[in-house]
């Protein structure tokens, strides 16, 4: 493979003294889409949170290189500034902060870290209008408090709008497809394809093959027993959906 953008080696992660991930390794090259499937409680969200630097998780062994830097040595903010973006399985609301304020602050922090001029309010609003239109949220959502009172589907669309505006290099989508209808899945696929064309890499955590039929993954990985138990091409996701995790197809 090309020089990987993300390279995870023998990663072990625990929370509250319990080991959740143990010896997990994974490489993702620039512009590649990788899917992770795995039973409930196998540690998929733990992996995504450990990668963004959530301090409730302890890294007890292993290394993570991102763009040839030691990702684990960076703060949560530095990881975001360098282009790691997580769309949460359960997006949090921020009642006192409008989407506009949140997006302007986040986008400008990232721009500053990349040596770019900050966007002024007008440019920011133009870009936000475009992003919200693409994800199918009305313009009035730009001035609403982040995710506050949003429906499940609106929260997921709001995460996608953030993703489009922040132009990340690595996107982790943690079950973005749960509870989304077909139209919304198509929007996810459009957003992923357009960023992928610009070289963004994706780690898509999902239970369903359905999203992957819209967003063809280069690789599919099964997370079980704390590590990547099996990897394959898109067919593996179809086999898992048909047979479940306990019935591995012979290689
Ligand atoms: P998945 O996303 O694959 O369903 P999770 O990563 O959410 O799995 O959880 C994996 C396991 O780790 C579960 O048993 C869960 O209870 C536990 N776990 C996750 N986060 C924490 C935490 N912050 N503190 C303690 N246990 C946790
Ligand atoms: Mg999860």
Q: What is the DSSP track for 84-138?
A: EEEE-SSPPPEEEEEHHHHHHHHHHHHHHHTT-PPPPHHHHHHHHHHHHHHHT--
- Site to probe by mutation for ligand 1, drawn from 14, 24, 35, 43 as the one with most ligand atoms within 8 Å of Cβ, is 43
**pLDDT, tens digit, for every residue of 215-231?**
999 999 999 999 999 99
> What is the average per-residue pLDDT within 188-205?
97
Which residues sit with their C-beta closer than 6 Å to ligand 1? Answer: 15-16, 18, 20, 38, 40-46, 56
Q: How far apart are CA 114 and CA 86, in angstroms?
A: 19
Mean pLDDT of the chain: 95
Residue 189 CA to ligand 1 center (angstroms) comes to: 27
Structure-token pair, residue 20? 């959740």
Return all residues near 115 (Cβ < 8 A) that are at least 6 apart: none
Residue 119 CA to ligand 2 center (angstroms) comes to: 34
Q: Are 2 and 29 in contact, with CB atoms under 8 Å apart? A: yes
Q: Are 107 and 99 in contact, with CB atoms under 8 Å apart? A: no
- Site to probe by mutation for ligand 1, drawn from 12, 17, 18 as the one with most ligand atoms within 8 Å of Cβ, is 18
If DSSP codes are grouped into helix, strand and coil, which group holds residue 149?
Answer: coil
Query: Ligand 1 atom closest to Cα of 174?
Result: 2
Which pTM value belongs to this model?
A: 0.95
Residue 60 CA to ligand 2 center (angstroms) comes to: 20
Q: Give, using CA atoms, the residue closest to atom 1 of ligand 1.
A: 41
Residue 205 CA to ligand 2 center (angstroms) comes to: 8
pLDDT at position 3 is 87
**pLDDT, tens digit, for every residue of 62-89?**
999 999 999 999 999 999 999 999 999 9
Q: How far apart are CA 203 and CA 215, in angstroms?
A: 11
């Amino acid at each position: 493979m090309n020089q990987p953008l993300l390279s995870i080696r023998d990663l072990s992660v625990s929370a509250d003294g319990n080991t959740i991930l143990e010896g997990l390794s994974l490489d993702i090259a620039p512009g590649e889409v990788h899917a992770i499937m795995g039973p409930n409680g196998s540690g998929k969200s733990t992996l995504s949170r450990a990668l963004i630097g959530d301090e409730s998780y302890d890294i007890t062994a292993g290394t993570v290189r991102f763009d040839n830097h030691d990702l684990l040595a960076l703060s949560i903010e530095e990881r975001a500034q360098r282009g790691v973006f997580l769309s949460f399985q359960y997006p949090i609301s921020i009642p006192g902060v409008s989407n506009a304020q949140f997006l302007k602050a986040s986008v400008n922090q990232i721009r500053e870290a990349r040596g770019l001029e900050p966007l002024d309010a007008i440019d920011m609003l133009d870009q936000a209008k475009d992003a919200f239109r693409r994800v199918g949220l009305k313009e009035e959502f730009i001035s609403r408090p982040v995710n506050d009172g949003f429906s499940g589907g609106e929260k997921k669309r709001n995460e996608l709008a953030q993703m489009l505006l922040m132009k990340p290099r690595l996107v982790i989508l943690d079950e973005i497809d749960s509870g989304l209808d077909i139209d919304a899945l198509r929007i996810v696929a459009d957003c992923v394809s357009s960023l992928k064309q610009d070289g963004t890499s994706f780690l898509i955590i999902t239970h369903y093959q359905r999203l992957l039929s819209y967003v063809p993954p280069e690789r599919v990985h099964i997370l079980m027993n704390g590590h990547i138990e099996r990897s394959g091409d898109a067919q593996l996701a179809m086999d898992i959906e048909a047979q479940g995790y306990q019935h591995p197809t012979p290689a």
